[in-house]
Amino acid sequence: MNFDNIIFQLSVIVVGAAALGTLFLYAKQPIIVAYIAIGFACGPNGLAIIRNTDHIEKIAHFGIILLLFIIGLNLQPLKLVKLFRRTALLTFSTSVFFGGVSFLFAWMLNYDMRGALIFGAAMMFSSTMISLKLIPTTALHHKQTGEVMTSVLLLQDLLAILVLLLITGEMSDFVLVTFAMLVGKFALLCILTFVGVRYVMAPLLTKFDRFQEYTFVATLGWCLLWAEASHLFGLSYEMGAFVAGLSIASCWVAVVIAEHLKPLREFFLILFFFAVGADLDLRLAPRLLLAAIVFGAILVPLKAHIFRFAFQKSGESIELSRELSVRLAQSSEFSLLVVFTALSAGGLSSERAMVIQVVTIVTFILSTYWVVLRYPTPISGNAALRQD
């Protein structure tokens, strides 16, 4: 049997996710954890049924792009600009704080200066995937919770790009100048997409609105066009997809397309969480493994506490601050990208990179349980908390 056959691998992932997901639902456990667990079990560090996950990870990335595109379809641009102004200082200050705490932890584990800085950078941000996957669609698109969360995550995305440029050395000696250039590129991307919608997409969608297949493929093509353009600008695919969705948000077709894309998004998100589990390697020195698990367990409540304080200081209500802080309390999938980039640049050993991965996945699992057991989510085992 050809274990590298993509059809075989997708069959293993979907069948395994369905089987273990069924057991988790019977046990009233978060199904996301089942996807991570089946990834670890079937991946190269488990039973090795799937030995190479590189192409699975690339396909799964499409799920994140779709997720941000759908979010953009349901937001109003002017309101988002106001939110950016409110959350900019909060996002920057909390990211620096989490990075500093993580740097000190890495320093205690005898990381060298560069390794400790990379560790700190990897822990600065929250997960777009976990945060947005676990919030009901109604809250994400129509409530203050989803709007504030989205603005924080998008600003973190800009900071994350800056961090990646620092790691690879592809930036000037002036950090503020580089960041200003990133903001300028983002503004140019926004202008081009909105002009394109007004003079190209909107007329086409109006003319051919009777053909659902056309509106579907045209809007999906618009998403991928600007995702790739954003990447060429030195920004992220996700940022381009979000702006593409935001530019179409005023068109009547936006809500319809968002609904049509949901099943496609869910499939690719399964692949993403599978890839997260498949990359996990627990063959670490016991001291490092224990330290990574303990730090991950500490980082989740620490992030929640700091975020809650910061949101209250920015003017949010106590109740909203508490919920937002819990939903943003994990590390980011960006941590895994930092690991890959640092390994490629020779700035991190494979063992120390694995510590970052273990910490990240521990925060994924703990924060998922915390959110699912306490707040409304689409995947809650409690019928009273299950909302989509």
Model confidence pLDDT, tens digit, residues 208-217: 877 778 888 8
Which of 115-124, 154-163, 234-243 has the highest mean predicted lDDT (pLDDT)?
115-124
At residue 168, the pLDDT reads 63
pLDDT at 310 over 90: yes
What's the fold here for domain 57-372?
Answer: Na+/H+ antiporter like fold (1.20.1530)
At residue 2, the pLDDT reads 55
Summarised one tens digit per residue, pLDDT across range 295-304 is 999 999 999 9
Closest to 72 measured CA to CA, from 254, 200, 226 = 254
At residue 142, the pLDDT reads 62
pLDDT at 43 over 90: no
Domain limits, the chain: 57-372
Share of the chain above pLDDT 90, in %: 28
Q: Does the pTM exceed 0.85?
A: no
At residue 1, the pLDDT reads 52
Output the average pLDDT for the chain.
84
Indicate the range of 21-30, 38-47, 297-306, 346-355 predicted with least confidence.
346-355
At residue 169, the pLDDT reads 57
Summarised one tens digit per residue, pLDDT across range 63-102 is 888 888 887 887 777 777 777 888 889 999 999 999 999 9
Compute the average pLDDT of residues 36-46. 88
At residue 119, the pLDDT reads 92
Summarised one tens digit per residue, pLDDT across range 104-123 is 999 998 888 888 988 999 89
Summarised one tens digit per residue, pLDDT across range 338-385 is 887 777 767 778 888 889 989 999 999 999 999 998 888 887 766 767
